[in-house]
Structure 1
Amino acid sequence: MDVIKAKVRKLRKMFSRKEEDLSCARKEDVSKEDLDEMSRRYEEELQIYSRKVKQLEKEKNDLLIRLSSYAAARLTNENPYNTDLSNQNRPNKLSERYSELYDNHWTDAFQNLQDKHHLSETNAIEFLLDVLFVSFDECKNDRLRESAIEALNEYIGSEKDDPQDLSVLEVMKTLKDTKKRNIKRMQKVFKIVENRLAERKIYTTQRLQDIRPYLDECVELCFLMNIQEPPLELRGLMYTTGTPFDDSAFQPYTKSGKKIEYVVWPAMHLYRDGPLLCRGIAQGMPDPYISRRA
């Protein structure tokens, strides 16, 4: 933007010099033909420079508008309480997808593991929980989390970039390139997750194939959760057997109790130690005294 201002000032100085030259020529003993030719040439140059100044001022104003929009968008996106209804990947929308992931894909995958691969209930639950946490851990990588904003930050914020090079087409290209880069990163995460799971014998190729819709949605959703600013948080591993059952964060799986036996589905939070977005599912441990009386 400073470069544009400098160019405008330079062109205006050139206008002044041309006008002074023309004025001096009129005062001196210059033939009418030469004076007319000089006047015509200067007039043409003046029109060219005038168009350039208008174009530069338009670019400057467009740039100011884009930068203002970018600043406003960044403030909105970095606000964890963002309620922009046009944003399909806002935290509330992601929490809805997270709930649907359990209600739909998790249920189907669980049924496949039991019916086709004869896993016990607890083994199938552990299998699917591992898939979710491995996906989340890989997507939590800082380089992945920052990839959604790094290109635009580098383009606008880098000192080595000349502001005069900033155009609407280039900004749009940057955003498209960022989106393509994120898609490639997500595809890479799919492969990393599969490789990590394949390290354990229980995760055979056929079993992973039979839960493919669940696996794909886990990776995509975890990726979107981790490019939020700040990233969303899944909490479940810290709730070990015997941990007090927190009714505000979890709902019972098939049994209630004052303590947790195991976590079936983690709770989702707006950010680390932040407000709860979606309750998890946990198996409760029945009170032994009540069980004996029953």
Structure 2
Amino acid sequence: MSSPKQVPTKFNPTLGEGVYEYFITNYLIHWFQAKTVKPDVYNRAMKELTLLNKRKAKQANKDNISTVSKQNIDSEREEVKKLGERPSSAIVTRRNPSKQEQASGSRNIQLENGRLKSEIHALEEQLSEVYLELQDKSSRLNRMKEDLKNSVQEVNDLKIRLSKLAGDKLRDNNPDLADLSDTNRPTELGKRFSEIYDNEWSDAFENIEKKDETEKVRILHEVAVSAFKYCHGIFRGQVEEIRGILLQETLNPGSDESRKTTKTVNIHNNLKEMRKQFAPITAVNVAQNFVPDRLEDLLQGTQIPPEEITDSLRKYAMKCAEICWYMVVCDPPMALSEDIKGMKFNTDIYKPYTRSIRDVKTPVVELHVWPALHLHDGGPLVAKGVAQPNAK
């Protein structure tokens, strides 16, 4: 084995080097370079040297911190020592001011206190004035809001009244214009009138006994027409009586007495609105009175005594009278078709009952089953009637 190059021959402990560190640095490294030490031995030794250096660095850092802390403590001790060496007279003066200084400070505090009280009093007065002014403005604002609300309500009421007056003026004696908000307008009455034929008419027809089909149809048709005439007569009598009382005269429609003035027009409009408003109640009362007043006498002529009137026939008669009252209170009153036997069968007005008119050259009405409904007398058709045409 050859000796390492430049190997130190003297260990110097004053340099702070440990024996192990000194051995590795000055011997083992040179031996490794000379290839007289195995690599695994060299690597293990170098790892231990690295750990040793880390421990030394950590210890050095702790030593520095301890040095700084000691210096800070010494500095604080020196400062305390200096404070303790100050003259005691200065401390006594600062702790015990003279009576003159105390009196002067007390006067200054009293003056400052008085000034602050004056400012607070002035601010309280200003705040009170502002509060009163705010209350006054708030009250005025509330009154203005209430006035505005009332004004808006008045404007809306006037708009509604104006719209209603304009609509009433357009619809007055003009049945072609309908109020779509009215559930009892002519088109709706036409639907309900046709539903009676589909429902109550069929039930009453099935329950009439001891009569053939033609006789049953004639009885039911006559009941419907009689109900309309009954309601129309009551309506005309009420109108003439009420208008006669209000105007202190008997008015005959179409005569010179029924001249249109502002007074009569207003009465007419008010009566018309009252009739519409009370129609649901009046219609029920009229329907209930129709059975004893007219139906029983009508059926006596057809050999049907009162005790043989079935419930379905009674219900049918009341339904006819009820819907007819709604018809006559319309302005102008609605009208039923003028049913005459032998008249030409008009398919625009009637629907065939059980026979077809396809093969009939000149069909005529042989039997009226259900009357047609018109908007007013001589007016357009609202609901078709039903009639039996003649045979071939």
For structure 1, which segment, 72-81 or 209-218, has the greater mean C-alpha deviation from structure 2 after superposition?
A: 72-81
Contact 1:252/1:284 (8 A) holds in 2: yes
Paired position in structure 1 for 2:215: 123
Question: How many angstroms does 1:186 deviate by?
Answer: 2.4
What TM-score does the superposition give when structure 1 sets the normalisation length? Answer: 0.60
Paired position in structure 2 for 1:110: 205
Question: How many angstroms does 1:207 deviate by?
Answer: 1.6
SS of residue in 1 equivalent to 2:309 = helix
1:278 aligns to 2:376 (yes or no): no
Paired position in structure 2 for 1:267: 372
Correspondences of 1:211-250 after superposition (within 5 Å): 211-237=313-339, 239-240=340-341, 242-250=342-350
Q: Percent identity?
A: 29
Gaps of at least 5 residues in structure 2 are: 1-139, 248-261
Task: Please list every run of at least 4 consecutive aligned residues from structure 1 whose deviation after the TM superposition is greater than 6 angstroms.
Answer: 53-60
1:98 aligns to 2:199 (yes or no): no
Number of residue pairs matched?
215
Alpha-carbon distance between aligned partners in 2 of 1:222 and 1:99, rounded to the nearest angstrom: 12
Letter of the 1:99 partner, please give it.
Answer: S
Question: How many angstroms does 1:181 deviate by?
Answer: 4.3
Q: Deviations over 1:206-258 (max 9, x none)?
A: 42533233223212211111111111111143x22x22211221121112451
Gaps of at least 5 residues in structure 1 are: 1-46, 162-170, 288-294
Letter of the 1:221 partner, please give it.
Answer: I
Letter of the 2:181 partner, please give it.
Answer: S
Q: Deviations over 1:127-152 (max 9, x none)?
A: 111221121112213447869xx8xx
Letter of the 1:199 partner, please give it.
Answer: D
Contact 1:198/1:205 (8 A) holds in 2: no
Letter of the 1:197 partner, please give it.
Answer: L
Correspondences of 1:147-166 after superposition (within 5 Å): none
SS of residue in 2 equivalent to 1:140 = helix
Alpha-carbon distance between aligned partners in 2 of 1:134 and 1:250, rounded to the nearest angstrom: 20
Correspondence for 1:254 among 332, 346, 354:
354
Alpha-carbon distance between aligned partners in 2 of 1:260 and 1:276, rounded to the nearest angstrom: 18
Alpha carbons of structure 1 residues 67 and 82: separation in structure 2 relative to 1, 3 Å: same
Alpha-carbon distance between aligned partners in 1 of 2:315 and 2:376, rounded to the nearest angstrom: 26
Question: How many angstroms does 1:67 deviate by?
Answer: 3.1
Paired position in structure 2 for 1:197: 295
Letter of the 1:107 partner, please give it.
Answer: S
Contact 1:145/1:228 (8 A) holds in 2: no
1:137 aligns to 2:137 (yes or no): no
Larger radius of gyration: 2
What TM-score does the superposition give when structure 2 sets the normalisation length? Answer: 0.46
Give the CA RMSD over aligned residues.
3.8
Alpha-carbon distance between aligned partners in 2 of 1:218 and 1:75, rounded to the nearest angstrom: 31
Alpha carbons of structure 1 residues 72 and 125: separation in structure 2 relative to 1, 3 Å: same
